[in-house]
Structure 1
Amino acid sequence: MSTPTKRVAFHTLGCKLNFSETSSISRDFIEYGYEKVDFNDFADIYVINTCSVTENADKETRKLIRRTKRINPDSYIALIGCYAQLKPDEIINLDGVNMVLGAKEKFNLLNYLQKMDLNNNNKLMVTSEINDVKTFNPSYS
């Protein structure tokens, strides 16, 4: 039984660690059968790895969310990264955002997506206190 290939796009803001983590997470999607496309292309799922070092990074995240909804109004948007960890309640309430995962949960993004009905406008926010993060996921680009 085969299912249609879902298209996924990634955008990373911030530091080299974020870029490395996005690279690792995107490989998981490809290995599972997703087609990775450019962030400016039509995708079913958009993943934004956020930064929160500057106010500009937060604004850029909100701008990216609006852009994805112009490309595909029915897309599913997941946010991970520092902004997602620090302000999950703020982010989950932004128009268009479906999923927010904190630092501990971001490497399980694919598992969370598989449990969700992506055709529904449901929302999921899963975060942990940063002090509760006890695991390390090796990442490389």
Structure 2
Amino acid sequence: MNTTSMIGSLFALSLVFGAPTLTIAHVGHGDEFQAEGGIDRVPVNTDTDALLGIEVTPIAPAADGSSRILVPMTALVDADGNQLAFVQYENFYEPVPVQIGATEGELVEVTEGLSIGEQLVTQGSLSLYAESRKTQTADAATSSET
């Protein structure tokens, strides 16, 4: 083997073994993905709510003039087989168990749990659900350490 091909081989090997490797990792506090404990209320945070896609709309009577409550499907969360919605009260979002009825296109009838005029989270409910589980777990861990 001549000197040129030996240098070429060494150069190729150095590229293969010496090249930086891209590694993607998540560095966090460890409580983001724990799903233990209950579902707790979540404080309103005007700085991050828009980033989470949270939109709040007052519940209006049905368009047909009846007293039925129709909400967008995006307002509901399946919490271990139970339907849940978030309602904004003062400075927090309260998880509210609901009973649902018939669907009409993108709307679903809520037969129990919500009232006309309440401030319903119509977008971002899944983000609040995840945050409520995270908040519960983090609070429990903090109180058990003291």
Greater helix share, structure number: 1
Q: Which has the larger radius of gyration?
A: 2
Answer 1 or 2: higher relative contact order, Cα 8 Å, separation at least 6. Answer: 2
The question of a shared fold, defined as TM-score above 0.5 by the shorter chain, is answered with: no
TM-score, normalization by structure 1: 0.24
